[in-house]
Amino acid sequence: MSHRKIEMKLMENKSSRLVTFSKRKSGLLIQVEKDKKKELDKALSKYKFINGKLPIDNLSFEELVEFKASLVEAQDNMPASNDELEVASSLLLLRENGMYETGI
């Protein structure tokens, strides 16, 4: 399912602009959390859970190394962290308010 392209235009009303930005930001944060959960589920899908706990004691050394590698791979494949998104959104707000210049 594809998303339709929406033309971006400056919203003159500041309060409407801030509300729209806030909604977009919260939507992005929700999507990041979903993506993180998917990556973690994918990394852990190779290993069986017993009573909700990972039986690490029963894994061989090779299995532990493989498990660690899959967790590192999942972490590398995750999109930007929440902190990075917060910083980006703060910079965007500062730029919109004329308090931050990119120097470009």
Q: Burial letters for 31-60: b for 16+ Cβ neighbours within 10 Å, e otherwise?
A: ebeeebeebeeebeeeeeeeeeeeeeeeee
Residue 16 lies in a domain: no
Residue percentage of the chain with pLDDT more than 70 = 78
Residue 7 lies in a domain: no
Residue 13 lies in a domain: no
Residue 22 lies in a domain: no
**Does the pLDDT value for residue 17 go beyond 50?**
yes
User: 56: which DSSP letter?
Assistant: G
pLDDT, residue 60, reads: 81
Overall average pLDDT of the 12-19 stretch = 88
pLDDT, residue 92, reads: 76
Q: Name the pLDDT band for 101 (thresholds 50, 70, 90).
A: low
State the total domains in the chain: 1
Task: Of 37, 50, 20, give the one whose Cα is nearest residue 78.
Answer: 37
In this predicted model, what pLDDT tens digit does every residue of 37-59 receive, in sequence order?
Answer: 888 777 777 665 555 566 677 77
Task: Of 74, 76, 98, 100, give the one whose Cα is nearest residue 87.
Answer: 100
Residue of higher predicted confidence among 93 and 99? 93
Residue 104 lies in a domain: no
Question: Residue 53 forms beta bridges with which residues?
Answer: 50
